[in-house]
Amino acid sequence: MSLQLLTTSGFVFLAQLNRAPILRVLSSQAGPFVHLALCVCSFVSMYALMSDPVRRRGPDKYKYLSVFTFFQSLLVATFTAFFPSRMVVSAAMTTAVGVGGVTLATVSNSNPKYDLTQMGQGIMSLTSVFVCYALANLLGKIMGFKAGLPWNELLMCSVGAGI
pLDDT along the chain (163 residues), means of 10: 73 85 85 86 85 74 84 86 78 70 70 62 67 67 58 56 55
Distance CA 145, CA 47 (A): 48
pLDDT attached to residue 149: 52
Burial category of 58 from C-beta neighbours within 10 Å (exposed 0-12, middle 13-18, buried 19 and up): exposed
Rounded to two decimals, the pTM is 0.61
Q: Which pLDDT score, from 0 to 100, does residue 39 have?
A: 86
DSSP 84: -
pLDDT for residue 19: 84
How far, in Å, CA of 4 to CA of 70, rounded? 9
